[in-house]
Amino acid sequence: MSQHEVTAPLTRRGIPVERDLRVLALGSFANRFGAGAVMTTSALYFTRQVGFSAGEVALAISVAAVVGILVQVPAGHLGDVRGPRRVLTWCMVGAALTSALPVLARAPWQLGMLLALLAFFERSAGSIQQGVIAQLATGGRGVLFKAYLRAVTNTAIGLGSVFGGAALVVDESWAYVSVFVLNAVFTGFAAWNSTRLPDLPAYVRVEGEPRLAVLRDWPYVVIVAITGLFSLHFFVMELGLALYISERTSAPPVMVAILLVLNTACVALFQVRLSRRADSVEAGAKALVRGAVWIAAGFAIVALADRGNAEFAIAVLVIGSLAHVVGEMIGSGGQWGLQMGLAPHERQGQYQGFAGLGFSVIAVVGPPVVTLLCVHMGETGWLILGALMLGVALISVPASRWALASRERYGVLTHSG
């Protein structure tokens, strides 16, 4: 790695300098813009317009989530051995063709089947794209580019939600359907945009090497478990905070939306800046610890919100949420530094697909845990969560050293760029 590569700027005036990274950013923006619109409206469409119960919709979403978990690693492996760009394009085409199909569901089982089909293509594409990012964002810029993409996608989701909000105001079936069609169009554009990426070489598996070698790379498995547990804090602030505000504090329910906008704006403005010191495995572990300190402090402050009147609760929630988002941004850089830095460069698709499993599993088991701790246990639960974040982050430091030391023994050549 040359000095020029290390110091070369990632962006100029907010736009990636390298063409390939600009293509990736544009595709991500288009994809998440449509997703933001659907996220805002889908639940209400299926309950108010189609007539499903909230439980039926939740079950259909859970089925799709399980499908997403099952396909991530095989999809990443397929991208590695068949050519990442080519497989990514086909998965994106599949996602575009299935994006609007859920509006046709008239029975809960149909909704589950159609959402599962969409998840098959979406999660496959997401897994492969993570590997493409790791291969294209070289020269020590992998973590920074993922930080940049997170800012881009947060902005895209926020803008997309404005269109979704317009459909909510109209509150007619055709308006909701148009949001799903809009998502399909933008996903189709993202699929076309992926054809502009370079044809990355396929990985040729060594004779005797297992097809899914990541499953036998125990140090990497441990690191993914650690980063997955660390991801619990996302569900704390997305789900636990909303329930906590409405059921245990005097703050008005609108604070949920205000804090979400505050979080999105902070990530869009500062994510890249706060990820600059996490571009290696060791630096990633240290960033995870720094992030955990901020997150734990945020949780401890939020825990006080049920002790006073509405004004006190609002002030405490804003301060606690700001502390949390600082930790979220620093910790995210740490997660990326660990997940990318310990993966072999030529098998990034398989490894990044597996890395995504940590978040996916927490997405299934996290909500009930968060509800128990944040709502039913109140202040004690928030403090337990803060201690858990600190404990997980501290474990990552010796675990990352062990993982680095094991790379040669496992025959894994890493590329932390």
Band (pLDDT 50/70/90 cuts) for residue 102 is: very high
Could you report how far apart the first and last alpha carbons of the chain are, in Å?
9
pLDDT at 415 over 60: no
Task: Kindly indicate the confidence band of residue 10, based on its pLDDT and cuts at 50, 70 and 90.
Answer: confident
Q: Inform me whether the pLDDT recorded for 413 exceeds 80.
A: no
Residue 182 has a pLDDT of: 94
pLDDT tens, 261-311? 888 889 888 998 898 877 789 999 999 999 999 999 999 999 999 998 999
- Domains 18-140+156-194 and 213-406 equal at CATH topology level: yes
Q: Which residues pair with 344 in a beta bridge?
A: 414
CA distance 12 to 10: 7
Residue 231, helix vs strand vs coil: coil
| Residue of 332, 336, 364, 365 whose CA lies nearest to 351 | 336
Supply the CATH classification number for the domain 213-406. 1.20.1250.20
**Mean pLDDT within 171-197:** 94
C-beta separation of 15 from 148 below 8 A = no
Give the pLDDT of residue 375. 85
* Structural domain spans, the chain: 18-140+156-194, 213-406
How much is the average pLDDT of 62-81? 87
Q: What is the pLDDT of residues 23-61, one digit of tens each?
A: 999 999 999 999 888 887 887 788 888 988 877 887 888
Structure pTM? Answer: 0.79
Model pLDDT for residues 204-261, shown as the tens digit of each residue: 666 656 667 778 889 999 999 999 999 999 888 777 888 888 888 999 888 877 887 8
Q: How confident is the model at residue 190 (pLDDT cuts 50, 70, 90)?
A: very high
Looking at 88-97, 353-362, 386-395, which range is the least confident one? 353-362
Q: Over the range 152-186, which residues count as b (16 or more CB within 10 Å of their CB) and which as e? A: bbbbbbbebbebbeebbeeeeeebbbbbbebbbeb
pLDDT value at position 5? 42
Of 32, 103, 2, 36, which Cα lies nearest the Cα of 260?
Answer: 36
Q: What is the pLDDT of residues 317-351, one digit of tens each?
A: 999 999 999 999 999 999 989 988 888 877 777 88
Of 223, 192, 241, whose CA–CA distance to 85 is shortest? 192
Per-residue pLDDT at 365 exceeds 70: yes
- Specify the pLDDT at position 409: 59
Reading the block at residue 391, the tokens are 């404990």
pLDDT of residue 55: 78
**For the segment 115-162, what is each residue's pLDDT rounded down to a tens digit?**
999 999 999 999 899 888 888 887 667 788 988 998 899 889 888 888
Burial 332-358 (b: 16+ CB within 10 A, else e): bbbbbbbbbbbbbbbbbbbbbbbbbbb
Architecture of domain 18-140+156-194 in this structure: Up-down Bundle (1.20)
For the chain, give the longest Cα–Cα distance: 67
Half-sphere exposure of 120 (CA within 13 A, CB side): 11
Question: Which pLDDT band, with edges at 50, 70 and 90, does 416 fall under?
Answer: very low
Q: For residues 70 and 124, give the distance between their C-alpha atoms in angstroms, rounded to a whole number.
A: 10
